[in-house]
Structure 1
Amino acid sequence: MATDVESLNALGVVTMEMIRTFVAIELSDAFKGTLVRVQEGLKRAPAGRLVRWVAPEGIHLTLKFLGDISPSRVDEIARALSETCRALSPFELTLSHTGFFPDAHRLRVVWVGLAGAVDELNRLQRAVEGGMNSLGFRPEGRGFQPHLTLGRVRDFARPAEREELAKRVLATQVDEQPRMLVREVHLIRSDLRPTGAVYTSLAVAPLG
């Protein structure tokens, strides 16, 4: 049986593959190196097996998830991001502490928080949200909570195991405090492959 796409193609209708995208800040090598070392410490714990750990290249500071878009919208989104970011100045961030969402009993996400110019980061996120809203992308239903995801807990983990993992996460220190100057924002494409997600920067919007 022909798929909907095949049927449209047979009729001469041109179809375009949708791409999954989000707006984010790319991390410095120093940030990634520190995050990997925090991950390694957590992996050594018995509860570390409960987590699907994110590869270093897959850790981003996400400002806005756009979802599936037509490739024809990339230029429009890139222009809006450039206009938004041009009005803001570069700022500096550092890493702070480990944490998790939503709570110890239902722990699903392990993360590292951010410190430094967090007010400027929040201002940038609000500006990006506003710029994307003007293009028809609805605002997030929840408030922005700046964090860097280290891993996601597997579905089979029991509540007691999640609580044990939570204790380990809270006991883990971020010993290194590298600083990162945020100079630009990226529009990123995410492609799911059998070996994991592949990320491609489609556009860059400098700050200032």
Structure 2
Amino acid sequence: MRRRRGSPIPSRAPGGNPVSASATATVQAATQVRTERLFVALPLPDNAVADLAEVVSDLNIARRGAPSRPGAAGRRPASGRLVRSENWHLTLAFLGDVPVSRSAETAEVIAAAAREAAPMRLCVSGGGRFGRGRYSVVYAGLDGDVAALVDLVHSIRAGLLAGNLPVDQKQYRPHVTLARPGDRVTNQQAAQDLLTLRRYYGPSWTAGELVLYKSDFGKGPVGAQPNYTAVAAAPLGGR
């Protein structure tokens, strides 16, 4: 039968028979690799979260409403929001998308790095801002055994790279992300917030566990914050 000009040429199996659309879709689905968005972090204890949350609640970035200028298609810019306090954590390594089949291997790398480290005394202290404009990030800083923490970060990164696993290699600056203020506050209000954060000194705690988290945005609306789920945990010093 003569094929009409412009009509698609059907796929054919090795035997020469046409391959159905459903069969093609099945093959394509089988070749897709399932991934998880992973990162390694130290969780904050409840008392540290509660103390910091009390200060953050009085900042201009917390008291202001939604951004004044809608984004594309009338949606509010995702940059203008506070990070939920239950999502506060101290990121040590960001891996990004990792095949699900390598999750256990990734957890083993994290556990190996944790065994070589010791529990460390830390506290949330100070703060600042990364970037400028609507894409800036307001954060709380860290005090305590920071040198030991940086050594641990280097150990984690080295283990991931040795295992041919992805990891962000930007210069490490320990911090807790608090907000992406966008256009919610004026420059003067932002300066007031930064001054308050720089004077902050929270309760100290002993960090004794590394956690491998996965980040899941699910099917929430544009600009929704992710949910973090612990995939694996490893005690520092192999306790």
How many residue pairs match? The answer is 200
Out of 166, 172, 178, the residue aligned to residue 196 of structure 2 is 172
TM-score with structure 1 setting the length: 0.83
Aligned counterparts of 2:235 and 2:114: Cα–Cα separation in 1: 6
Q: Distance in 1 between matches of 2:94 and 2:229?
A: 15
CA RMSD of aligned residues (A): 2.8
> How big is the shift at 1:165?
3.6
Instruction: Check if 1:200 corresponds to 2:219.
Output: no
Contact 2:56 2:62 (8 Å CA) reproduced: no
Who wins on radius of gyration, i.e. which is larger?
Answer: 2
8 Å CA contact 1:109–1:151 kept in 2: the answer is yes
What CA distance in whole angstroms lies between the structure 2 residues aligned with 1:46 and 1:199?
25
Unaligned 5+ segments in structure 2 are: 1-22, 68-79
- CA offset at residue 169 of structure 1? 2.0
| Cα distance between partner residues in 2 of 1:183 and 1:52 | 30
8 Å CA contact 2:89–2:176 kept in 1: the answer is yes
Instruction: State the 1:153 CA deviation.
Output: 2.2
The 1:10/1:112 distance shift into structure 2, 3 A limit, reads same
2:144 paired with 1:119:
no
Q: Tell whether the 8 Å contact from 2:119 to 2:236 is kept in structure 1 after alignment.
A: yes
Tell me what 2:58 maps to: 41
> What letter matches 2:216 in structure 1?
D
**Matches of 1:205 and 1:44 in 2, distance apart?**
35
Name the residue aligned to 1:89: 118
Q: Do the aligned partners of residues 170 and 14 (structure 1) sit closer, same or farther apart at CA in structure 2, a change above 3 Å counting? A: closer
Aligned partners of 1:128 and 1:14: how far apart in 2?
A: 30
Of structures 1 and 2, the one with the larger relative CO (CA 8 A, separation 6+) is 1
- Identity of matched residues, %: 32
Describe the shift of the 1:36–1:128 C-alpha distance in structure 2 as closer, same or farther (beyond 3 A): same
Q: Structure 1, residues 50-109: CA drift from partner, whole Å, max 9, x if none?
A: 540000121111111111111110110111111111011101101211211135x67700
Classify the secondary structure of the residue corresponding to 1:181.
strand
**Map of 1:92-171 to 2, 5 A cutoff?**
92-102=121-131, 108-138=136-166, 140-154=168-182, 157=183, 163-171=187-195
